[in-house]
Amino acid sequence: MLKHYIQAARLRTLPLSISGIVLGCFLAASQEAFNWNICVLAIITTIGLQVLSNFANDYGDGVKGTDSDDRVGPERALQSGVISPKQMLNAIKITGTFTLLIAMFLIYISFGIENFGYSLLFFFLGIGSIVAAIKYTMGKNAYGYSGFGDIFVFLFFGLLSVCGSYFLFTKQLDFTIFLPAASIGMLSVGVLNLNNMRDRVSDSKSGKNTLVVQIGIEYAKYYHYYLLVASFLFALLFVGLQFKSANQFLFLLAYMPIFKHLYIVYLNQNPAELDPELKKLAVATFLFSLLLGIGFLI
């Protein structure tokens, strides 16, 4: 049974989920404000949120019939019957509780009792993150079924992940931090858009009105180009504003596979064949966070 929960956790999504945290940690370290306890707890919290989201997605799509035989990607737990809806609900409750406890410990380690205002703010951000992870596909008003998934991914995987983790260390924000945060957010939305392009047919049949379903595959491709090119331009602007050495351009290496990926999407005529590109773009996003962060340290 444990292996089925591990499969439902979709470990391949974890590198993408922690990309923003990793970058926030590196940028804080470049300001000599790094703390290993905060770093580890922030990563564990983010992994908890991602696993929670994956469980909730499996449950939400499963009970609504979205995960049908038309679906192209890996078979889901509820879809295959290896985990029952009740068992998955219990897993969601346990994962959500664990994640909230770790998040509270992270907040305490970062702000203590002397920064109660910051603690309260991040507590509500944590609650909001948990609710957003669950409500993507669960419930009558699941925002993933109305085309708002892209906005939430940009906010939580990009802006909150990078800026929030950076603030946990430094207790301050520079407006330029929003530039790489936007880059991570756009790359993350790119992964979601790729997933939605792959699943467009099955999503349309089941009433899951993702942005791709609403605008069609051709416009979804243009949207994809804009997201990834804009992420590159924001990162380039950030380095230009914070320029100290040529090492800061290390991140350009991560865009070699990303631009190759764009060409593959451009040539693609069968969205079902985009599935391998999901992993490539997710790994490239993680590589981008590492290289940009390292470039600011060396």
Burial-class residue 131 by CB neighbours within 10 Å (0-12, 13-18, 19+). Answer: exposed
- Sequence letter at residue 51: V
Q: Are 142 and 135 in contact (CB under 8 A)?
A: yes
8-state DSSP, 132:
H
Gap between the Cα atoms of 137 and 148, Å rounded = 11
Conformational region of residue 35, where left means phi above 0, alpha means psi within -120 to 50, and beta covers everything else: beta
Gap between the Cα atoms of 271 and 197, Å rounded = 6
How confident is the prediction along the chain (298 residues), in pLDDT tens digits per residue? Answer: 688 888 888 888 899 999 999 999 999 999 999 999 999 999 999 999 999 998 888 888 777 666 555 556 566 677 777 888 888 899 999 999 999 999 999 999 999 988 999 999 999 999 999 999 998 888 778 888 888 999 999 999 999 999 999 999 999 999 999 999 999 999 999 999 999 999 898 888 888 899 999 999 999 999 999 999 999 999 999 999 999 999 999 999 999 999 999 999 999 999 888 999 999 999 999 999 999 999 999 8
* pTM of the shown model: 0.93
Gap between the Cα atoms of 140 and 129, Å rounded = 19
Q: Residue 162 is encoded by which pair of tokens? A: 């990078």
Phi, psi of 67 (to 5 degrees): -80, 80
8-state DSSP, 271:
G
| Cα torsion 289, 218, 278, 147: sign | positive
Gap between the Cα atoms of 85 and 55, Å rounded = 10
Q: Are 206 and 68 in contact (CB under 8 A)?
A: yes
Q: Residue 202 is encoded by which pair of tokens? A: 């099955």
Helix/strand/coil for 136: coil
